[in-house]
Amino acid sequence: MNYIRVRKNNLCIERITAQKLIKTYKTPFYCYSLSQLRNNFYKFKNDFKKIKPIICFSVKSNANLAILKELKRLGSGADVVSIGELLKAKKAGIPSNKIVFSGVGKTEEEIVAAIKNKVLLINIESDSEALLINKILKKMSKKISVGIRLNPNITGQTHKKISTGGKDEKFGLAINDCINLCRKIKKMKNMKLEGLSVHIGSQITNVGPFKKVLFILNKIIKKTKINFKFIDLGGGMGISYKEKENQLNLKEYSKAVKNFTKKRNFKIIFEPGRFIVANTAILITKIIYIKKSANKNFIVLDAGMNDLMRPALYDAKHQILPIKKNKKLIKGNFEFVGPICESSDKFLNKKNFPKIIEGDFVGITHVGAYGMTLSSNYNMRPTVAEIMVYGSTHKQIRKRQTLENLIKN
């Protein structure tokens, strides 16, 4: 079910119109549907119910404290890649035994923090990292569970900037290197090798690459003869950003994972982010100017690439809807752009659009993942507010940054 939709020509978030929200909050602002968040989590959990995985939400996709607290309440753990994300997950109340610490460049400070917080797993990405963790553990007289991240040389058939499983990517260890490190760690007394981890990319909508990963994992398990306690399959499950666009078939993926786990005792870990939060939010923004050129109409918004980086960063396409739909359709080429001094500060090219004028408002859809977390103060613009809607109620879950705070340093 979609909780952000057009109803009677009004863009609605649950039972509140966007028109009502702009009377209370200054644009641009992110607006989330709590019901959509819950619905997405329950769907994910239900589609994998035969596996009963540990779900570790990818904090990098959305680090808002209110969202993390709600996911914790629903039973989610956390996948973190920095000390900041670890502390945020802990602040949200997520227990350490549901936190996985990943990332290709963990600092000594971060490793110490992960050890002190007794996280479920530290996923190791290199021989050097393994040696450093072992050295720190000896110094601290501690022992901790670790996993090894595999690079299976499988691309996720996704955008090259969010593909992480190819042989030329910085992530994980090649198959033979992974097997060799498994054997080395087994000899290190301060580390318990309990996990094998893999993550091949983001926004993957075809189950084929995931099936290939399971095949390679099966070969490694047989070759190492290690009884892994956890197999961390990462995230990367793709969603539909527009009508008629493919979304990953979770039930088909679940069936493949179920076959993979037959006659084995390990626990599956998933690290979903986008699948849980992407369609929970909309970025509401005002049309400042409509600027006509020879070939197109520039629709200049008060939101820019500093608020939503995905289109500029990797050509992401988000649908744009008027908050009050006019039945009259204006023909022509429209390019929705922001106010930032970069040619890449644009959101969408659209042929024909419902009639709009300067001062109207539009909503950029499916911005709950990698929206606010990728925002910045570029061009010295304040970070925007975040609003949560539930039914016919709404509240601010993150304040808009003040100009005083922006310029203080």
User: Are the CB atoms for 198 and 149 separated by under 8 Å?
Assistant: yes
Q: Where are the domains positioned within the chain? A: 4-32+278-406, 35-276
State yes or no: cis peptide before 28, omega within 30 of 0. yes
405 Rama class: left (phi>0) / alpha (psi -120 to 50) / beta: alpha
d(Cα 152, Cα 200) in Å, to the nearest integer? Answer: 8
Please report the pLDDT score of residue 274 as a whole number.
95
Please report the pLDDT score of residue 384 as a whole number.
98
d(Cα 296, Cα 290) in Å, to the nearest integer? Answer: 10
Distance set, CA 375 to CA 63, 84, 254 (Å): 12, 16, 33
d(Cα 44, Cα 249) in Å, to the nearest integer? Answer: 11
Please report the pLDDT score of residue 201 as a whole number.
87
d(Cα 290, Cα 249) in Å, to the nearest integer? Answer: 40
Per-residue confidence of the chain (409 residues) as pLDDT tens digits?
A: 899 999 999 999 999 999 999 999 999 999 999 999 999 999 999 999 999 999 999 999 999 999 999 999 999 999 999 999 999 999 999 999 999 999 999 999 999 999 999 999 999 999 999 999 999 999 999 999 999 999 988 887 776 777 777 787 889 999 999 999 999 999 999 999 999 999 988 899 999 999 999 999 999 999 999 999 999 999 999 999 987 788 899 999 999 999 999 989 899 999 999 999 999 999 999 999 999 998 999 999 999 999 999 999 989 999 999 999 888 999 999 999 999 999 999 999 999 999 999 999 999 999 999 999 999 999 999 999 999 999 999 999 999 999 999 999 8
Q: Which tokens go with 124?
A: 């190791």
If one counts every other C-beta atom within 10 angstroms of the C-beta of residue 391, the result is: 12
User: Are the CB atoms for 129 and 106 separated by under 8 Å?
Assistant: yes
Which residue out of 12, 56, 178, 341 is catalytically annotated? 341
The residue assigned the tokens 């649908």 is: 319
If you compute the radius of gyration of the chain from its CA atoms, what whole number of angstroms results?
23
Active site residue 341: yes
Please report the pLDDT score of residue 263 as a whole number.
84
d(Cα 3, Cα 36) in Å, to the nearest integer? Answer: 6
Q: What is the CATH number of domain 4-32+278-406?
A: 2.40.37.10
Q: What is the CATH number of domain 35-276?
A: 3.20.20.10
Pinpoint the alpha helices (H) of 60-161.
65-74, 83-91, 108-116, 127-140
d(Cα 241, Cα 335) in Å, to the nearest integer? Answer: 18
Please report the pLDDT score of residue 33 as a whole number.
98
Please report the pLDDT score of residue 245 as a whole number.
80
